[in-house]
Amino acid sequence: MGVIQNTQIVLAERPVTDIDLKKTFKIQKVSLSDELGPNEILVKVIYISLDPAMRGWLRDVRSYIRPVRIDEVMRSADITQVIKSNNPDYKVGDIVRATCGWQEYDVLKPSDDIVKVKTFPGVSPSTYLGVLGITGLTAYFGLFEIGEIAKKGGPDCTVVVSGAAGATGSVAAQIAKHVFGCRVIGIAGSEDKCDYLTKELGLDVALNYKSKTFFKDLCAATPKLIDIFFDNTGGDILDACLRRIAFKGRIIVCGAISTYNDAVPKGPAYYSALITQRARMEGFIVFDYAKQYGKAVEDMSKWIKEGKLKSRETIISGIENTPEALVKLFNGDNTGKMLVKVAEEETKSKL
């Protein structure tokens, strides 16, 4: 029986507005026994997923999931590798997605939320935190279930995506463009991201919301108004899109990252456009569609192989940098999926 030194990052104090790198989280080293109970596995964390939803988990309010407790390891989805196993279903070296949180090692029981990752050539295991993970599934189910894109689609359907260079937005925009052939306008916060959206992802138009002419540009880019708005950001961008919403338009309320650090956010002033345009704003949580994940991953794996779905990652190294990576996510410093690399994946021969 051995003892492993395990670095963990726990919630120290709930932030009221912005995350405070000196106060919100606390790093600690604990000892973890590698002695396993029946069917348990010991995993080493390779990648930690950073997601806007995490800001919500820090709040002590009624939500879709319980808040992270003070002194508890911060929750996250991770890509991990099995390094010791008492479970015949998991072999040493297997890559497993699990909710271990911000730490280097964890012991998992079969009842935990564990998914064995089937890797295929050209696809990094980190893809299972991005396009083929919760972020990509969020884009997929948001568009299909809330946007009902399959009933619309085609070049006469104008789709606008905010946070379009982000992990979820980039998948939503590409599905709308390359699978359904819609006119797709991506909104992002820098000229580099806008170039990425049009030149690499092939969207029709990309708009920088920091531009002084943003609303004018949005009007010019949506001559037939907006049929589907996939919103990741909220705030002024949501208001601008409400002002351009089409008759019976759909607003997929996926996230509101621009407001998550506000104690009381500014709501969408122009929401009464919902009345005049008979439009709908609807929220969703991807977990509700868990039974359909298999079909979604199958579809998206196919689209990746066909070149319809590209992805980019912004990777920061070192578990101690995880809180800063989360802050960078809210500052919009990332293009594509934001990850922290905690350790190298080991080849099976080495293990």
Element containing residue 159 per DSSP (H, E): strand 158-162
Burial class of 210 by CB neighbour count within 10 A (0 to 12, 13 to 18, 19+): exposed
Nearest to 147 by CA among 205, 231, 224, 52: 231
**Burial classification of residue 257, based on how many CB atoms lie within 10 Å of its CB (0-12 exposed, 13-18 middle, 19 or more buried):** buried
CB of 234 to its own copies, least distance (A): 7
Phi and psi at residue 99, to the nearest 5°: -100, 70
> Binding of its own copies at residue 234 (CB under 8 A)?
yes
- Per-residue x/- track, 241-280, its own copies (CB under 8 A): ------------xxxx--x----xxxxxxxxxxxxxxxxx
At position 283, the amino acid (one-letter code) is G
Q: Could you tell me which of 282, 305, 251, 257 has the C-alpha nearest to residue 132?
A: 305
Closer of 67 and 93 to its own copies (Cβ): 67
Closest approach of its own copies to the CB of residue 257, in Å = 10
In the complex, what is the shortest distance from the CB of residue 300 to its own copies, in angstroms, rounded to a whole number?
22
Q: Which of 285, 290, 302, 318 binds its own copies (CB under 8 A)?
A: 285
Pick 281 or 342: Cβ nearer its own copies: 281
Select the span of 163-171, 179-187, 283-291, 324-332 touching its own copies (CB under 8 A).
283-291
N-to-C CA span, the chain: 18
Site string for its own copies, 138-177 (x = CB under 8 A): ----------------------------------------
Which CB, 53 or 74, lies closer to its own copies?
Answer: 53
284 binds its own copies (CB under 8 A): yes
Half-sphere exposure of 275 (CA within 13 A, CB side): 3
Please report how close the Cβ of residue 215 comes to its own copies at its closest, in angstroms.
13
Q: For residues 140 and 129, what is the distance between their CA atoms, to the nearest angstrom?
A: 14
| Residue 95 interacts with its own copies (CB under 8 A): yes or no | no
Rounded distance, CA 12 to CA 24, Å? 5
236 binds its own copies per the rule CB under 8 A: no
The tokens for 156 are 């006469």
Distances (CA, A) of 206 to 64, 180, 217, 287: 32, 18, 10, 30
Pattern 63-92, its own copies, x by CB under 8 A: xx----------------------------
What is the C-alpha separation between 129 and 152, in angstroms, rounded?
A: 29
Q: Binding pattern to its own copies, positions 31-60, x when CB under 8 A?
A: -------------------------x----
Report in angstroms how near the CB of residue 58 gets to its own copies at its nearest: 14
Q: How far is the CB of 266 from its own copies (least distance, A)?
A: 7
Q: At a CB cut-off of 8 Å and minimum separation 6, what does 208 contact?
A: 187, 188, 189, 190, 191, 193, 194, 214
Binding string, residues 101-120; x marks residues near its own copies by CB under 8 A: --------------------
CB 201, CB 195: distance < 8 Å: no
Find the shortest distance in angstroms from Cβ 350 to its own copies.
43
Check residue 192 for interaction with its own copies (CB under 8 A). Answer: no
Using an 8 Å Cβ cutoff, are 232 and 166 in contact? yes
Instruction: Check residue 207 for interaction with its own copies (CB under 8 A).
Output: no
Number of residues this chain uses to bind its own copies (CB under 8 A)? 34
Which residues in this chain contact its own copies in the complex, by CB under 8 A? Answer: 56, 62-64, 234, 239, 253-256, 259, 264-285, 288
